[in-house]
Structure 1
Amino acid sequence: MMPVFKRSSSTHIARLIKESLSTPEILPPLLEQKVSLHKRFPNYKRTNSITDKWLKEALKRKDKLNEDKLRNVNLRLHVVLTTLQKLRTAYNPALYFALLNRIGTGHITWLNITGRPIDTFPSNRLPLEFYHELSNMLYKVSLQPVKDKTALAKFSLQLLDRYFLLIAESFTGEQKFRANTKFLRNCALLVIKSQSNYYLDAIQRLFAKHLKSQLLANLSQLAFYVETCQWTSVVEILPLCISESALESSKERERDIQLLELFSPCLVKSLGVMITQGMENEVCLILRSLSKWNFRFHQHDSSNLMQLCKRHSCFEIIATMNKLSFITVSSKQFDLDKLQSDVSLKKCMSDLSKDNFEPFKHDSFLQSLSLKLSDLPLSLSVWKRYIDDVDQQMRTDSTPPPLRAFFTTILLSHISVQKSFDFMLSLVEYMVYEKNFRKSLLQTKNLVGSRENSSFHCLFHAASQANSTKVTLLTLFNKLNEHGYQFSVHDFLSMLKVCKNYSDCDFFYFVFYNLLITHSHRFFLFDEFSDKFTWRLPIQIGNAISGWLSSLQIDIQENTDRVLQITDEVGEWYVENKPVSLEKQAVQPINVLKLRRIFGERKTLFQMDSEIYQECKTKKDKEMEKGALFTQNDMEYNFAVDLSYSKRVQNLLSYVTSQQMQQKE
């Protein structure tokens, strides 16, 4: 069989980099310019470069740095490594490889932290620590949008082959050296990112030749299947990676556990796919095997798996993770074994009632129960009968109000996504007028972990999916605002999403103003990347605003400039008035009068209802020429339908309010 790669005779990593990583995506032009300058101008003094400055810091006191090459100098290994690590952290590949290339140009005696020479064989080779560090940098490079990942794969094979060769030459007889596990993992993943079976086979042969354990080869195969989305193969090989027989035969258990942890992202992604496919039994078996290896997920990973289980009703996996201490959640408050995937929502509610589950006190993570509603037909009458059945069951079980509110949230959360706004509004009307779910509707805001999905938030979301609900959303907003309702960012996002054209200018700025007066103080934060305080809109809000601006038929630049001016001035106000300590002091919302001046008293309507909206829309329509006026968005919007929805929402909220007042009396 022809060799996959050619072994380099050079003892310097830097030369391999120069030969193999010469693509612009990997080796920046800055480094190429430095090399060419030195070649073109022999008298060019390199001691003035930044790399020479760093090397001088690593010199032994009596040594001097040659202007051209490093000859017979003593360098402290830990100083150079620290500099490389800093360059890697800052992701400056040009200077990183320039420094690495520099130390590969001469004869250097490397000193340990106590100042004593480090024995290396063959003489003058770079210590193995540089191989470890370089693999970390190359792995970081591979995470960037690099086009030629084949070059990285080839070089990784060269690097790994050279590494094993140096170990064989340097450690003979009774001397033993164990290859660095992270270095091996990095080389494997660099090869895998090429998505080439050819290079995968090559690295597998290197592992088989130099390593006794089969675990790294299996994990590399798993990572390859994950990278190439071969999920059937993932399911087949995953048990081999964590089998009990492999654990019992392992002579280096601690190193194998370390390898498992290094490949944790692949394991988590594999489990995530299996969860979405409903493979509960298989996932539970894998979790039990991992626990025998003393494997532990990172908190972020276990949290993500937990969320997936919630969304897909994988209660058995949640129970298993809890039992094995992979997670600790309040689900121990009741028996999850009773809530299997094939149990109906009606039965689940009955079991939760018997187990005295209290959603006002414990995280109601069972939002995934809404998946059990997906099998119901589209007919409104069928849904009404279903509500009748569940309501009757809850009355029979004497289900407490918090659980009734919990059921209401499950129902509305599902309908707001899966059904039309008219369908949802009709069902809510039935629940309030006919089935006396008024209290449950109001109490949904008290559910732990579900406040963003409570009843009225669901109405906002459902309305944003319809074509004719601008006046409806105004009515919903104004009526709730009268009673001190706490609007979420998502409520305002729903209102911004219905802005479709130039006619919505006044409506847009009304919503934008209320968003900022309510939530702008929450958009002020400390940006670790720029190392300073900043104020910026959430991404979803920014996208909604951009969507509206791009839909305008006229005055696009004027409105774009106005939005930018508003955001800039609000941001400047928060930066100028920031608290001394964000940990000890809360960020104060912007002054109402200040915000009104920023928006412009004459340009903005700070109060709006259906009549004002209609007047504004008519006025804006007249400002446009007939040719630019008619768009697909205009054709979809029906003002009469919108008014009809608005009236129904107003009647519904008025009824709920009046009933609440009567009860207080």
Structure 2
Amino acid sequence: MKSTFKRFSSTHIGKLIKESLNTPEILPQLERKSSLHKHFLNAKRTNSITDKWLKDALTRKDKLHEDELRNVNLRLTVVLTTLQKLRTTYKPASYFALLNRIGTGHIKWLNKSGQQIDTPIYGRLPLEFYHELSNMLYSISLRRANDKIALAKFSLQLLDRYYYLKTNSFTGKKKFQSNPKFLRNCGLLAVKSESIYYLKAMQELFRENAEGPLLTSLTQLAFYVETHQWTNVLDCVYSCIVDFDSVISKTHDRDIQTLELFSSYLVKSLELLITQDMENEVCQILTSLSSRWNFHFDEHDSSNLLQLCENHSCFKIIETLNKISFVSVETRHLEMINSSSEMSLKQCVNFLAKRNFQPFEQKSFLHSLSFKLKELPLSVKVWEQYIDEFDAYMQAESISLPLRAFFVDILLKRLSTHRGFNFTLSIVEHMIYERNFWQPFLMTENIIDNKENSNFHYLFHAMSRAPSTKISLLTLFNRLKETGYQFSIHDFLSMLKPCKRYSDCDYFYFVFYNLLSIHSHKFLYFDKLSGKYLWRLPNQIVDAISGWLSNLEIGLQENTDRVVQITDDVNEWYVAERLNHLEETTIRPIDKIKLRNVFGEQETFFDMDSETFQDCEEKRGEEVRPQHSFSAKDGQYSLELDLSYSERIEDLLCYISSQKQQ
């Protein structure tokens, strides 16, 4: 291994930690302060915070010396608990300061009963500190800012020292077994470096010390997942789960424990295979996990897998999950799943009708039946004919209104995600005008768990995927606002996505204002790590805003500063408001007058229609033209097409409104 990384003969963990505190390239993001190092090297320590922590661990007869710890008795559990608290509250500077202090002293460690604990080498720390340190390093690796390569180097040195203790201290009848979580942490620190060099170095250490093939295979799987090498995932999962002979393995129980520690990567692997429609492979892996490994995912992971299977119509996997008790699915739902997988959509609706399925009252796994429409060609006439025939069938069979809404929802789901907006709007117009489906269309929001993925929400989503829909989106938004419609966060995300140019400035701030006006109170949360209230925009909204800013021909800095200032001001208001009303169980939305002041009364259009939008576009376009005679993005937007869509949306909403009043 000398050719792979630098090894050290010293087993002194304190020396290693001291190096990490004083060497910039090792753990550079630990918020170290130079005064802290001087304090340890030169000053008296009796009044330091570490002294306070150590005094809590002292026995009555022991005292702290000013310069170092010499021949004192410390209670192991007290010091470990302090380190764990510093880790969970993420105070790395204090954590490593304390670890460095105890690592460079000569201490007798006592257990809960007050008896001395044997350490592998006199004067060295018990192995529990290695285990705890690996947890801290892994916690650090989860934060983006930290140097993953430095952490990988550090973990290799730590593991090397760990094995040195094994070689030199545990001989004869006294058997040494490495802590599985410690090994997992070290392995994942190498994995997260995304360097094959450090991964192979770590795996070589595992092999040299006879840790077994499963640990090596699982770190390889984690590496493939972490580096998005999806083509290698399937073979690696098979080698870990299906092909690995765990039953006859002498380390069967330990292998199961190791497998459980890598469960998050197993879940990610299965999620990938599900999205690739590899049902049979996933079923085989799940069956092996249950029958050969007696392995079960926790409730959270099982629920996520189930949801993904629903979205991708993987009914065989749902049945397998239920069979091996990973999830519990009602018998009636399983019957529907098994039967629907081989049926046409018309047969499915008939099947559900005969079993008195109530979509407004019963949760089902059948929202994803929209995949049965994938065989329909990209032809408006063919779709219209299909809907006409389906409507005739439903009338002949007296299909209930809720099931009609269920059918319309299936159509909308497929259209909004797999067809263009013009195509989608044409089919919706046919359903409303020709087939009189306006009532089932509106009732799709009553389907269980479908409140924010129904009727007009589908139109918002479909419009977000078209370049010439900003006026159309404004028309839909303004008309629905008059009716008291409940806009979702995703509706506003759909309105933000068409923002591509500097000329969209006024439209962007109009949408951003309305988003914060309606939903900003949902973005406040209590961060357990920092112990503070924080306000933060959802990631998808941030991505949409960043996408618009990055495309600006001019005014990038100006608009970036404005967006940052708005979010900072809103954040400040919510945090202060929450701290002043801690006794309240609900979070009140920001005051409209305050929000208008934040955006600027003179700089923002709080009302915008088609005419206002066109005036703003023209004005902003004139600002751009002197500097940019042409932008490639200009050719994507068609005002004429947008106005045409807007008129059709207006007519559709007026028609539905008139039908409701009859």
TM-score for the superposition, normalised by structure 2: 0.85
Aligned 8 A contact 1:142 1:190 in 2 = yes
- How has the CA–CA distance of structure 1 residues 17 and 586 changed in structure 2, closer, same or farther, with 3 Å as cutoff? closer
Shifted more, 234-243 versus 374-383: the winner is 234-243
Are residues 1:103 and 2:102 paired? yes
Indicate how the Cα distance of structure 1 residues 206 and 343 shifts in structure 2: closer, same or farther if over 3 A, else same. farther
Using the TM superposition, give the Cα deviation of residue 645 of structure 1 relative to its aligned residue in structure 2, in angstroms: 1.4
Instruction: Show the counterpart of 1:284.
Output: 283
3-state SS, counterpart of residue 147 of structure 1: helix
Partner SS for 2:382: helix
Secondary structure at the aligned position of 1:587 is classed as: coil
Structure 2 residue 369 is the aligned partner of structure 1 residue 383: no
Which residue of structure 1 lines up, in the alignment, with residue 88 of structure 2?
Answer: 89
The structural deviation recorded for 1:158 is 0.8
Mapped contact 2:474–2:609 kept (Cα < 8 A) = yes
Question: Is 1:147 the equivalent of 2:137?
Answer: no
2:57 maps to 1:55: no
**Matched residues in 1 for 2:382 and 2:239: separation?**
48
- Where does residue 189 of structure 1 map in the other structure? 188
Matched, 1:463 2:463: yes
Does residue 1:368 correspond to 2:348, yes or no?
no
* CA deviation vs aligned residue, 1:428-462 (integer Å, no higher than 9, x gap): 11122222222221111112222222121111122
Pair 1:418 & 2:418 matched: yes
**Alpha-carbon offset, residue 571 of structure 1:** 4.2
Within 5 A, what are the aligned runs for 1:562-573?
A: 563-564=563-564, 566-573=566-573
What SS does structure 2 have at the residue aligned with 1:55? helix
Moved more, 505-514 or 559-568: 559-568
Specify whether residues 582 and 352 from structure 1 end up closer, same or farther in structure 2 by C-alpha distance, changes over 3 A only: farther
Supply the distance in 1 between the matched residues of 2:578 and 2:652 (Cα, whole angstroms). 42
* Superposed displacement of residue 236, structure 1: 4.3
State the SS of the aligned residue for 1:327: coil
For residues 365-420 of structure 1, the C-alpha deviation after alignment (integer angstroms, 9 at most, x for no partner) is 43333333334322222222332343344345433222222222222222223222
Shift of 1:309: 1.2
How far apart in 1 are the matches of 2:525 and 2:141? 30
| Aligned amino acid, residue 527 of structure 1 | D
Which residue matches 2:318?
Answer: 318
Distance 1:501 1:219 in 2: 46
* Contact residue 527 and residue 533 of structure 2 kept, 8 A: yes
Separation of aligned partners in 2, 1:603 and 1:4: 60
- Contact kept in structure 2, 1:319 and 1:336, CA below 8 Å: no
Corresponding position of 1:129: 128
Describe the superposition over 1:229-269 as per-residue Cα deviations: whole angstroms up to 9, x where unpaired: 66666544545645699554466665443322112122212
Equivalent position of 1:165 in the other structure:
167
Deviations 1:302-322 (A, max 9, x none): 222123212321111112212
Which range is displaced more, 387-396 or 377-386?
387-396
CA contact (8 A) 1:524 1:574 kept: yes
Question: Matched residues in 2 for 1:576 and 1:660: separation?
Answer: 45
Q: Which residue number corresponds to residue 476 of structure 1?
A: 476
Superposition RMSD on alpha carbons, in Å?
3.8
Mark the CA change 1:577 to 1:256 in structure 2 (over 3 Å): closer, same or farther.
same
Secondary structure in structure 2 of the residue aligned to 1:138: helix
CA–CA separation in structure 2 for the residues paired with 1:187 and 1:656: 62
Residue 296 of structure 1: how far off its partner (Å): 2.4
Q: Measured at CA, do residues 423 and 76 of structure 1 come closer, stay the same or move farther in structure 2, by a change above 3 Å?
A: same
Equivalent in the alignment of 2:428: 428
Distance 2:389 2:404 in 1: 13
Alignment of 1:139-538 (within 5 A): 139-143=138-142, 144-148=146-150, 151-152=153-154, 154-165=156-167, 168-169=170-171, 172-173=172-173, 178-193=177-192, 194-196=195-197, 198-199=200-201, 201-208=203-210, 215-216=214-215, 219-220=218-219, 222-223=221-222, 226-227=225-226, 234-236=233-235, 238=237, 241-242=240-241, 246=245, 248-249=247-248, 254-292=253-291, 293-329=293-329, 332-339=332-339, 343-538=343-538
CA contact (8 A) 1:501 1:633 kept: yes
Q: Does the aligned pair in 1 maintain the 2:137–2:151 contact within 8 Å?
A: no
Q: Please state whether the residue corresponding to 1:484 is helix, strand or coil.
A: coil
Unaligned runs of 5+ in 1: none
* Cα offset, 1:214, TM superposition: 6.0
Q: 3-state DSSP class of the match of 1:526? A: strand
Q: Which ranges of structure 2 fall in alignment gaps of 5 or more residues?
A: none
- Which residue of structure 2 aligns with residue 24 of structure 1? 25
Q: Match of 2:119? A: 120
Q: Deviations over 1:186-238 (max 9, x none)?
A: 33434555534743552343453xx6x76545545544555566666654454
- Aligned equivalents of 1:117, 1:195: Cα separation in 2: 42
Letter in 2 for 1:361: E
Question: C-alpha separation between the residues in 1 aligned to 2:44 and 2:329?
Answer: 64
Rounded to whole Å, the distance in 1 between the matches of 2:648 and 2:30 is 65
Write the deviation string for residues 617-663 of structure 1: whole angstroms up to 9, x where unpaired.
4455566665557544444333222222111111111112212222x
Q: Provide closer, same or farther for how the CA distance between residues 153 and 407 of structure 1 changes in structure 2, counting only shifts above 3 A.
A: same
- What corresponds to 1:589 in structure 2? 589
- Of all paired residues, the percent bearing the same amino acid is 56
Q: What is the distance in 1 between the residues matched to 2:82 and 2:653?
A: 65
Separation in 2, partners of 1:576, 1:122:
54
The one-letter code of the counterpart of 1:321 is L
- Helix, strand or coil for the counterpart of 1:352? helix
Q: Name the CA distance, whole Å, in 1 between partners of 2:608 and 2:440.
A: 30
Q: Aligned to 2:196, what secondary structure does the other structure show? A: coil
Aligned 8 A contact 2:333 2:365 in 1:
no
Q: Tell whether the 8 Å contact from 2:553 to 2:628 is kept in structure 1 after alignment.
A: yes
Contact 2:57–2:76 (Cα < 8 Å) also in 1: yes
AA in 1 matched with 2:207: R
Cα deviation, residue 45, structure 1: 4.1
Give 1:353 shift: 3.2
For normalisation by structure 1, the TM-score amounts to 0.85
Q: Which moved more, 1:230-239 or 1:323-332?
A: 230-239
